[in-house]
Amino acid sequence: MDYRDAYRGKRCMITGGMGFIGSNLAHRLVELGAQVLIVDSMIPDYGGNFHNLQGIEDKVRVNIADIRTESTVRYLVQGHDFIFNLAGQVSHLDSMLDPNTDLEINCRSQLTLLEACRHNNPEVTIVYAGTRQIYGRPQYLPVDENQPVRPVDVNGVNKRAGELYHLLYHDCYGLRASALRLTNTYGPRMLMKHNRQGFIPWFVRLAIEGECISLFGTGEQRRDMTEVSDVVEAFLLTAASEVCQARSFNLGHPHPLSLRELIEILVELCPECSYRLVPVPPEKKRIDIGDYYGEFSRFRAAVGWEPKIDPREGLARMVAYYREHRKHYW
Amino acid sequence: MDYRDAYRGKRCMITGGMGFIGSNLAHRLVELGAQVLIVDSMIPDYGGNFHNLQGIEDKVRVNIADIRTESTVRYLVQGHDFIFNLAGQVSHLDSMLDPNTDLEINCRSQLTLLEACRHNNPEVTIVYAGTRQIYGRPQYLPVDENQPVRPVDVNGVNKRAGELYHLLYHDCYGLRASALRLTNTYGPRMLMKHNRQGFIPWFVRLAIEGECISLFGTGEQRRDMTEVSDVVEAFLLTAASEVCQARSFNLGHPHPLSLRELIEILVELCPECSYRLVPVPPEKKRIDIGDYYGEFSRFRAAVGWEPKIDPREGLARMVAYYREHRKHYW
């Protein structure tokens, strides 16, 4: 499917648009000739970073706002053709330490946004950024969409609710909504300040700094990784496609890596770094899901998507980006 | 399994204990020699009714409190052996008109209760009152626990989150939690003031009043109905049983009835009433799930439960109760 013409001149809002995936999407939408409104709360430590807009600052509108504020959301949703709904609390550990904040952002604000669309922009198309975290520890691999949902953290429960709200507002009110269940996304413009938003950025940072990377457990856990440009393409295909409405799709990558293999690639890219195996700390063990890799054939069948970027190429691109832009990220 | 000795002298807290199922459970627990604490917000129209405790007023403690109040919940959970967690917003229609209130009660308060237990009573056993509403429109019948979850209203999404929180707090923190997915429960002590909490009480009220009952659609929708004493037994079996921990179970009844058959039984019991078919109003059509009856063999295999009361017998018992106690219910 060719979506390139679908966005020319179209009004696109990106919640969480200053963050990792949102800003990469903004760059691509600008290339495609869209009118982009970025909405972001810029909560410290969540991933919003003005540097992420470098090169498109003058081609997008930025509105700092928190999606927890109902009246603001009600106003902002008006007049858009597409909403890419990426705002969220994404740290699994934080969701266990402060379940209420996760609930406010990942449940209540999603309801607020959907209510706002229903009343003020019922024709909009919304794509929701869901997560493979909803499945918890896989019962079989690769994980397809029929896998039982059994989250291992509060974030997983709330992200599942967020996804179901979107489908529900389609079923009940006809909103054009769909959801993608992202797996480990990585690449340029990712938060690198702390290690609470996934292991990939933290490993890349340590590698670039020439540090010794602590790998929990045996390093044999296998994960699939999708480079952010492939994920951006997935969002653009979904929003432009009729067949995606009211459905949820897994993303995934056909070449899962063990964490040890991932680190070995980083050691090749950054020969000054090293790694060692250390025991898993209890607060991480509790919410660890073991091996995970996703089956994305439902999505491939719907829109023809498959990831184009291999982990080795993606990691090389990521390392190069942060070597150049490091001062803006840590 | 014989649970009768499991509750003697045990401290049992019932959230929503002044309501329909909670109060029936309280009566049974008093019979079994338990020390019962009833917690209820007594929010008008939610189902709490002091008359429901008639006969056991002096044998239970009552604490009026709203489970949305964190500090209160943190205090109240202490020292109990069992918590029967029945407090909830139960109206499907209300959840669409006021999704935030449903979220506060069915999501946030559940997290509050579980956090309170984790910190202040980690040894407690909790049974959560879930709902078959999480399945939405069945893809096949009877509905077993492998049926895809696709709620048709906000209440269904939030009740699903509530259930997943309970299982999660088991998996992460070792809380002894489990969930029952109730289907249409009916019987004595049910709210009869308005028609927003299900069709059975409203039909029974109209039948007793000798009114003409408006049956939406063709009346051919089939539903299973479980009498409240069978549901109470299910809660008592679940809490007393090791094998139920960390699991969710459907309840159900092997003899589903069409709504028309149900009304015909009521016409036999109350010959002064009648019925007529009317078109389905749009706000009900949107969240109607069509035929539903549940497969409960997973629960039967776990604890030996099956419903003992047939719809005809249950409805006769219900009509008799309200003929006697009508002035306390409408």
Confidence of residue B16 (pLDDT cuts 50, 70, 90): very high
Give me the residue label for tokens 């015909």.
B264
pLDDT at A285: 77
Residue B88 placed within a domain: yes
pLDDT tens digits along B124-178: 999 999 999 999 999 999 999 999 999 999 999 999 999 999 999 999 999 999 9
- Taking CA atoms, A285 is separated from A146, A214, B172, in Å, by 25, 15, 9
B165–A157 C-beta distance less than 8 A = yes
Residues of A in contact with B150 (CB under 8 A): 164, 167, 171
What is the 3-class SS of A78-125, one letter each residue? CCCCEEEECCCCCCHHHHHHCHHHHHHHHHHHHHHHHHHHHHHCCCCE
Evaluate whether B322 touches B315 at the Cβ level (below 8 Å): no
pLDDT at A281: 85
β-bridge mates for residue B275, sequence order: B213
Taking the CA of residue A241 and the nearest CA in chain B, the distance in Å comes to 22
pLDDT at A197: 80
Residue B177 placed within a domain: yes
CA–CA gap between residue B309 and residue B303 (Å, rounded): 18
Would you say residue B266 has pLDDT above 90?
A: yes
Instruction: Select from A111, A146, A152 the Cβ nearest to the Cβ of B171.
Output: A152
Confidence of residue B217 (pLDDT cuts 50, 70, 90): confident
pLDDT at A45: 87
Residues belonging to chain A: 330
Would you say residue B309 has pLDDT above 80?
A: yes
Based on the structure, what is the number of domains in chain A?
1
Q: What's the mean pLDDT when you consider all of chain B? A: 95
Evaluate whether A76 touches A14 at the Cβ level (below 8 Å): no
Q: Most confidently modeled of A113-122, A187-196, B194-203?
A: A113-122
Residue A215 placed within a domain: no
Would you say residue A42 has pLDDT above 90?
A: yes
DSSP state of B143: B
- In chain B, where does DSSP find H-type helix? 20-31, 70-76, 92-97, 99-103, 109-120, 154-173, 199-208, 228-240, 259-269, 282-285, 297-303, 311-325
Evaluate whether B117 touches B128 at the Cβ level (below 8 Å): no
Residue A75 placed within a domain: yes
pLDDT tens digits along A217-257: 888 999 999 999 999 999 999 999 999 999 999 999 999 99
ipTM for this model:
0.89
Residue A275 placed within a domain: no
CA–CA gap between residue B155 and residue B131 (Å, rounded): 10
Residue B118 placed within a domain: yes
| Amino acid present at A171 | D
The whole-number average pLDDT for the span B206-216 is 95
What b/e string do you get for A128-162 counting C-beta neighbours within 10 Å, with b at 16 or more?
A: bbbbbbbbbebeebbbebebebbbbbbbbbbbbbb
B111–A100 C-beta distance less than 8 A = yes
Taking the CA of residue B247 and the nearest CA in chain A, the distance in Å comes to 11
pLDDT tens digits along B71-108: 999 999 999 999 999 999 999 889 999 999 999 999 99
| Number of Cβ within a 10 Å radius of residue A78 | 14
Evaluate whether B196 touches B268 at the Cβ level (below 8 Å): no
Interface contacts A/B by beta carbons within 8 Å = 77
pLDDT tens digits along A105-125: 999 999 999 999 999 999 999
Taking the CA of residue A247 and the nearest CA in chain B, the distance in Å comes to 11
pLDDT tens digits along A261-295: 999 999 999 999 999 999 988 877 777 788 999 99
pLDDT at B282: 83
Q: What's the mean pLDDT when you consider all of chain A? A: 95
Q: Which domain holds residue B246?
A: 4-189+227-254+293-309
Residue A235 placed within a domain: yes
Residues belonging to chain B: 330
Give me the residue label for tokens 């009433």.
B273
pLDDT at A41: 95
Residue B31 placed within a domain: yes
The CATH number given to whatever domain includes residue A97 is 3.40.50.720
Please tell me whether the overall predicted TM-score, pTM, comes out greater than 0.90 for this model: yes
